[in-house]
Amino acid sequence: MPAIKVGFIGLGSMGRPMAVNLLNAGTTLMVHNRSQQVVRELEDMGAEAATSVEQLASQCDRIFVCLPNEETCEQILMGDDGVFANVRAGTIVTDHSTVSVGLSKKAADHASRAGAKFLDAPISGGPSGATDGTLSIMVGGNEDAFNAALPEFEKMGTNVVRFGDTGAGTAMKLINQLLTCIHTVAAAEAFNLANSAGVDILKATDLLQKSFGGSTMVGRSGPITAARDFENSGAPMRNLIKDIGIIMSMADEMKLSLPTGTAAAEILYEGRDTGLSDHDIAAAIVPIETHSGG
């Protein structure tokens, strides 16, 4: 029986290391990306380069995409030259992007019409988790398709959970991102208080991680904030700005009150409006400092 051929589209700060982990685990892999430099890098490591989405979609048994925003995701998956216009019947297509539940359900409908199967499987763990192969992967979709794709998931993550039918994985990721946005801004607020009170941020971070006030975002943002090392980040603020926008739209549709989410969104949007979108998420402290007179 021939080896399963896996395709991967989107080789950014998350997708590239995920694809590398698939390669390192012996996967027969074809890759495609808008920037060809990274495609050539993976080709040198043993991947097959695809010159188009059409080529990859028509030749692979499993297709994974990891894309930066909803517009790109819709174009790559559902465009005239996209995955579902060219996919073979029976192929399992997995979207690792952070998008709305509505877009995941729309993708599943397109997959069904093409005779393919679709899994929404957003990820958490950042570039370090993608590199280490320790991502959390939150999956929605058909259970048989999930079980079939599980060997590939387990090459990229260590915490792989199917939450239910189509959209359940995306919903879980948005729940995670709501907390990430809130905790990022809360950590920034706490570090602004520490600076103002003359408390060393690195010492505070160490203590907080052993106390009730600790969080993943306190732990990651503390050293970055202490060093003011906000530029050239693998976790830019624009990612949270995108995600909180999706979350707030979802809350509006469901008529939910998200008071701390709303407060976090205000800080993140102010960061966007003052030119911080490409800075690390820890730069959420900057608008807080501005309001504090810092």
The set of catalytic residues is 173
Residue 229: alpha-carbon gap to chain centroid:
22
State how far the Cα of 127 lies from the Cα of 166, in Å rounded to an integer.
26
Beta pairing class for 117-120 and 135-141: antiparallel
Pick the closest to residue 69 from 98, 101, 33 (CA basis): 98
Residue found by looking up tokens 């490409």 in the block: 278
Q: How far apart, in Å, are the Cα atoms of 282 and each of 59, 190, 233?
A: 42, 12, 10
At 253, give phi and psi (nearest 5°): -65, -35
Looking at the chain, the number of H-run helices and the number of E-run strands are: 14, 9
Instruction: List CB contacts of 104: < 8 A, sequence separation 6 or more.
Output: 95, 118, 120, 140, 166, 167, 169, 170
The 3-state DSSP class for residue 31 equals strand
Residue found by looking up tokens 């539940």 in the block: 101
State how far the Cα of 9 lies from the Cα of 66, in Å rounded to an integer.
6
268 and 181 Cβ atoms separated by less than 8 Å: yes
For the chain, the maximum distance between any two Cα atoms, rounded to a whole number of angstroms, is 67
